[in-house]
Amino acid sequence: MAVEDDIATVAEHERVCVFKAFDETTALKIGTRLAELAAAKKEALAIDIRFWNRPLYFYAMPGTSPDNPEWTRRKSNCVKRFNRASYALTLRQKRDGKGFAPDDAVDPMEIAAHGGSFPIRIEGVSVVGTITVSGVPGRRDHGYVVEAICEHLGIDYGPLALPPE
Amino acid sequence: MPVETDLEIVARQEAELVFDRFDEDLAFEIGSNMRRLAKTFGKGAAVGVYLWDRTMFFGATAGATDGNRGWIERKVKLVRLMQKSSYRIVLERGDQPRVLSNWALEAGDYAIAGGAFPITIRNVGIIGAAATSGLPERDDHEVSRSAIALALGKSDSYLPLPKV
């Protein structure tokens, strides 16, 4: 996996995965679909969908542990802080060969630059929340979320998928 | 000012003052409108526009203090909690104690006082609030409401509360 390629692909994910509408029912639909996608691959995810001021959907699939929602929380905080997919932060750090600097004042107990949290961006508005999963490595967590969003938006996920490692 | 009349009007204000888009420029426009409107009262006032934890605009007029900043933030937290304008919650609660102990909330984090108006996006919901502090709470509310109405291309007297 070439970091630069992933960086370009994730930027494309962020460009096309933009919503015209998003409410509690949207969250239920996307959350349920994420669980179906993971179950089909016999994988277990914790799934967290939230606006910045309130949770909209949560489901921890059988096989997850209390560690997973801790990850979704810190990954979602990463998106909240930077308004980027958390995997974009992973890639930036990988490319630069370093994590957050002390000057960034990022508390690792609160923010994790690991893939799997994706911004809910509303067209013409801004980022209003996140869709986050934890259960498989960050790059694949990210893939699950983008796949579910693409399905919801009627976008062909195939050409957008990150290539197998 | 009958509470029922105000409640009915505030509910209509919230239902009709809805954005199709919202960005930094619009936040600046709302904030600037709020500051200009608040200044006409000739008192120290502070105004702010927030996408919850993200501050989009802050302004003050001569005489405003850090206390006003605190009121704004606590009113916005009430909107964040209740998903209604803070003045509507004042009207709905009437003489009931303002923050009850069995809500298990830090009372000092919230102000049940008018002046914070939700920023609502069509087909999405409430994503933040615009708030004024420094005037009587009903006027604070109207400054925020007027500024949002103007930013939506409506008159600043769109759905006003009746003069008292």
Residue B33 CB neighbours (<10 A)? 21
Chain B neighbors of A153, CB-CB under 8 A: none
pLDDT above 70 (res B154): yes
Residue B1: its pLDDT value, please?
Answer: 62
| pLDDT cut 70: percent of chain B above it | 99
pLDDT at A57 over 80: yes
Q: Considering only residues A31 and B102, tell me which one the structure prediction assigns the higher pLDDT.
A: A31
Q: How much is the average pLDDT of B131-156?
A: 98
Helices and strands, counts by H and E, chain A: 5, 5
Chain A nearest-CA distance from B43, in A, is 32
> What does the pLDDT average to over A30-58?
98
pTM of the full structure? 0.92
Instruction: Give yes or no for residue B98 having a pLDDT over 80.
Output: no
Instruction: Return the SS3 of A102.
Output: helix
B156 in a structural domain? no
Residue B53: per-residue pLDDT: 93
Q: How far apart are CA A56 and CA A2, in angstroms?
A: 35
Domain architecture of chain A: domains with CATH? 3-154 (3.30.450.150)
What percentage of chain A carries pLDDT values higher than 90? 99
Return the pLDDT at A127: 97
Q: What is the structure's pLDDT at B149? A: 98
Amino acid of residue A47:
I
Q: Report the residue from B21, B53, B127 with minimal CB separation from A128.
A: B127
Residues of chain B numbered 134-163 and touching chain A (CB < 8 Å): none
Mean pLDDT of chain B: 95
What is the average pLDDT across A140-145? Answer: 98
Nearest Cα to Cα of residue A9 among A83, A122, A130, A90: A90
Mutate to test the interface with B, among A79, A122, A152, A153 (most CBs of B within 10 A): A122
Inside any domain, residue B80: yes
Predicted confidence at residue B107, as pLDDT, reads 86
| Per-residue pLDDT reduced to its tens digit, B15-69 | 999 999 999 999 999 999 999 999 999 999 999 999 999 999 999 999 999 999 9
CB contact under 8 A, A20 and B123: yes
Residue B82 forms part of a structural domain: yes
Residue B160 lies in a domain: no
Q: What was the pLDDT predicted at A165?
A: 83
Asked if the structure places residue B157 within a domain, the reply is no
Q: How many domains does chain B have?
A: 1
pLDDT confidence bin for B94, thresholds 50/70/90: confident
- pLDDT 10s digits, A133-142: 999 999 999 9
The whole-number pLDDT of residue A1 equals 66
Q: Could you tell me if residue B12 is inside a domain? A: yes
Q: Which residue has the higher pLDDT, A75 or B99?
A: A75
- Residue at B74 is within a domain: yes
Classify residue B52: in a domain, yes or no.
Answer: yes
Query: What share of chain B has pLDDT > 90, as a percent?
Result: 87
DSSP B118-145: EEEETTTEEEEEEEEESS-HHHHHHHHH
Which token pair is B81?
Answer: 């909690």
CATH code (residue B128): 3.30.450.150
pLDDT averaged over chain A? 97
Give the pLDDT mean for B80-99.
90
User: What is the structure's pLDDT at B99?
Assistant: 75
* Domain that residue B64 falls in: 3-151
Kindly determine whether residue B124 and residue A122, on different chains, have CB atoms separated by under 8 Å.
Answer: yes
How far apart (Å, rounded) are the C-alpha atoms in residues B152 and B83? 20
Q: Which residues of B touch A23 (CB under 8 A)?
A: 123-125
- Residues of B with Cβ-Cβ distance to A77 under 8 angstroms: none
ipTM for the assembly: 0.86
Give A130's contacts (C-beta < 8 A, 6+ positions apart).
A48, A49, A50, A75, A76, A79, A80, A117, A118, A119, A120
